[in-house]
Amino acid sequence: MNFSTDFYHILWFFIIYCFLGWVWESSFCSIKAKKLINRGFLIGPYIPIYGCGALVVYLTLYPLRDQLLLVYIGGVIFPTILEFVTSWVMEKVFAATWWDYSNEKFNIQGRICLKVSLFWGFFSVAMVEIFHPLVLMLIDKIPRHTGEIAGGIFVVVFSADFAHTVVATLDIKKTLAKMENVRADIFQFLEVHNLGAEYKELSPSRMLNYLKEQWEERKEYLENIPVAGTISEYKEELEEKLSALVKRYEGNKPKRRRARVLQRHVKAYPKLKSTKYSVSLDEMKKRLEKLRKEK
């Protein structure tokens, strides 16, 4: 048994399994959705959780390849723990969830579920029995000097991709937080002026339009009232203040590059949800979709 743990082989194991994970996820999701989906948190054709999961399985279970039952059990447990931790960390850092198994039976917090965990077990057995010997053979066929250069280039590109995506996603989180703060100001404005709780279910821009529509409908009934001028002035003042709040809300948007990152996240993970700013995220998704159609 050739059990390679030097940095060169570990790096290439990570590269190859990240790529194979991207191929699997993109193919499976594209077939399921009946359209092309470029799966993955990052820009490049690689999904790090697959590379990390494969390395965990390799380092812990490959030495046990003669005991397939242990490989299967370990393959169920270790990748499942990794998937749970990854989901938890991403939620805490970005206030969002990229996948959700809540509709699957025997799930835990929607982060993991029995069906997928059992799949990890089969994948682990297939990896140690079929895939890894082929991967090792492929790596050893690459001239060492060429492999070192290519591996170094990957590290640079991957690091830049990771840093860019993380920073952009954090920027999106900040933008959503600002939007939620303005929403809170708008709701407070409505409550202070007793304009009705039903408006809270609307987006800020739709809220303003609805207020204007209602005013126009009632305006004709107020024309003959002696204090109509005062009412009109009060209405204009309220509308001006509310318009300013809505403008603040709609002015919060991620920069062009950040918007592209969000668009990619939404396309790659249709179940993407914000755990703190869900309404604002839905509003931003609608804006991005509108801009896409206008192009």
pLDDT in tens, 201-247: 666 667 667 666 665 655 555 455 554 455 556 667 766 776 777 77
Q: Within 13 Å of residue 61, how many CA atoms lie on the same side as its CB?
A: 30
Q: Supply the pLDDT for residue 152.
A: 97
Low-confidence residues of the chain, pLDDT below 50? Answer: 222, 227-228
pTM to 2 decimals?
0.82
Is the distance from CB of 72 to CB of 125 less than 8 angstroms? yes
Q: Supply the pLDDT for residue 79.
A: 96
Contacts of 146 (CB under 8 A, 6+ apart): none
Q: What is the 3-state secondary structure (H, E, C) of 92-126?
A: HHHCEECCCCCCCCCEECCCEEHHHHHHHHHHHHH
Burial of residue 152 (number of CB atoms within 10 Å: 0-12, 13-18, 19+): exposed
Q: Supply the pLDDT for residue 70.
A: 96
Q: Is the dihedral of CA 246, 248, 254, 255 positive or negative?
A: positive
Structure tokens at 224: 């003959």
* Greatest distance between any 2 Cα atoms in the chain: 96
Q: Supply the pLDDT for residue 295.
A: 59
Q: Supply the pLDDT for residue 182.
A: 80
